[in-house]
Structure 1
Amino acid sequence: MKYSGIGGQAVIEGIMMKNKDQYATAVRRPDGGIEVKKDTYVSMTEKVPFCGLPFVRGVFSFADSMILGMRTLSFSASFFEDDEDSEPGKLELWMDKVFGEKVEQVLMAVVMVFSVVMAIGIFMVLPLLIANACKQVIHSDTIMAILEGVIRIAIFIAYIKLISRMEDIRRTFMYHGAEHKCINCIEHGMTLTVDHVRESSKQHKRCGTSFLIIVMLISILFFMVVRVDNVLLRMASRIILVPVIAGVSYEFLRLAGRSDNPVVNLLSKPGLWMQNLTTSEPDDSMIEVAIAAVEAVFDWKAYLRENFPDTEIPEEETR
C-alpha cells in the first residue's frame, strides 16, 4: 500500500472525493446518469498555521470534514427533493427574510452545532451517567473507566445498527464501501476499473469510522488517569477533553494511513472491524460513481506510473 493523499465520503446516492484543495461530488441522478460537481475547499489547517500543528490539527480537520460533508450532502440531496412546487412554510419565509442568501449557511451551522452537542451528550456524557449507576458496586476507578468505555462503544454499535435499518442509510453504506474500494484499488497498484475496484477491500485505515473507534478507545486511557469524584466535574472533564482525545486520535489515524508497520496495522484492527458495520459491498453502478468522483480530482494513471511502474495500463485507458 502506498499513500495517495485522496480521501472521500459517501453522500446520498453518490460519493465525494477530495485531493488536496480539490474535491468532486459524483451523484447517480434519478434518470440514471452521473452528475459530477468539482469545487475547491481550503482547509483551516492550511489557512491558519496554528490549526495545522500536530495534536491541534485533528480537531480542525474534523471540523473541515463536517463542513465539506454538509456541502456535499446538500448537493446530492438536491437531486431527490420532493414537493418542489409546495408553498414554503412560515419558518422558511422568516429565515429567508432574516438571513437572505446566507440562509443555507446558517442552517448548516445550526445543524453542525446541534450534531456536535448531541454526539457529546450521547457518546460522552450518557455512558458516564450509566456507568455511574454502578459506582456503589464497583469501587475501582480503572474498572469504572473501562466500563464507561465499553458502554460508549455499545451505544455506538447500537446506533449504527438502528440507522442501518433505513433503506437510504443501507445504500449510503454501500457507497461508503465503493469509496474505500476505489482508494484501496489505487493505493495497491491496480488500474481503476470496475473489475479491479470490485476485487479491492471495503476497509480502509483512514476511515472516519476508525477515527471514532480510536477516539473511544483512547478516551478509556485518558479517563483512567483523569480521576474526579464529583459527577458534575467528571461530566465537565469528558467534554473538555474531547478536543485533546480527538487530536491524539487523529495523529494515530494519520500515521496508520501512511504506514504498513505490523504494529500499526494491529492497532488499526478495531477500526477496520467496526467498518463492517458502516460499509457494505457496492454494486457496479455505485463503483462507476466512485470512479467518476476519483477521476475528477485525481490523475490515478500518473500516480500508478510513479509509484507502481510495473503496473500495466492498457492503451485504451491512457487516451
Structure 2
Amino acid sequence: MKKMKRKKFLILFLVTSFLSPLWAKEEKVGFVVVSYIEGDMEVLLKGEKDWRKVKLNQKLSEGDRIRTKFASKGELKMSDGSTISISENSIFDIKKLFEKGLIRKSGFKLWIGNIKGRFKRLKTKDSYCEFYTPTAVMGLRGTEFFLSVDWDGRTKVGFKKGSGYVYTDKEGKKPISEKEEAEVSLEGDITIKKFEMIKVPRVIEKNIDDAKKILIDLGLKAGVIRAEESEKPKDIVISQYPSEGYEVLPNTEVNLIIAQEIPPIAVPDLIGKTKDQAELEITGLELVVGMVVEIESNYPKDMVIKQRPGP
C-alpha cells in the first residue's frame, strides 16, 4: 500500500513540474494570522459559498475574503511581524502570499473601507507588496500607511513612515514620500499632497454630538461608540481611545464610551419576610443592605416589620 501512494505522488509531481516548472521550483504559499478581533468579523474562505465568523489566531491565505461589520475591526499579522488593521464596514481580499527565504511577495485588495498597515522593510529586490483598489494600485517596501476606499470607489493612500507609489492606467506610476497622501479619482487622476500628524483632542466630558464635530473638524472621526452605565449625564463621553495628545494619522478613528443612565430599580416589599430572605432579595437586585435595627416586638424573631425606603 505504501508503494502505491509513493508512486502516485511521484507521477503527480513530475506532471506538475513539466507543466509549470517555475511554480514547482519556487512557489510557497504563506498565510496571515488573525491577531485581534472586535465585533463582527467574517471570512469567506477560498472555494466556499458561505461566510463564517473569524476566530482569533485563525490562519488565512490566498483567495480568502474578509469583511467587517458596523462597529467592528480586526488585525492580521504576517510571518515577519507586519500587520494590517482593518476598520469597520470594510471588504478585503488576500490575493497573494508567497515566501521563500527572505523573499516576500504579497498582494491584497481593498474593495471598500479603511485599513492601516505596519510593514517590515522588504529585504530583496525580488520582493514586493501591493494593495489593489477599484481605481488604483499602491506599492510599498516597508512603511506605515493608511488606505481607504469610499462608497463611490475613490481611493486615498498616505504614508506615515517610509514611501511607496500609486499607479493608475491614466497617470501611470507616481511616487509617494513620507507624510504625503494621494487621492485617486474615479477617472484615475492622482493628486498628491503633504499631510501633518494630528494630535488627538480631549473630548471627555463633551456631549457625543459635540465630540464628533470636534473630531471631524480636525480631520479625525469617531470610531466605535459604546454606552456604559454611569452617573454622568446621558450621552456624555466618559472615556476615549486614543487618549488626548496622542499623534495619529488623518482619518484615524477615536473610539468613545458614552454615559448611559442607570435605570431605576423598584424597591421590593420586604415587610413580613425574614432577615435572610430580605437580604437575599436586596442583593439579587444589585442593591446594598443598609442599617439593620433590632427592636423588641411581638412579631417572630428576625422578621422585617419596617423598611426605608418603602416599596
TM over 0.5: no
TM-score (norm 2): 0.20
Higher helix share: 1
TM-score (norm 1): 0.20
Structure with max Cα Rg: 2
Higher strand share: 2
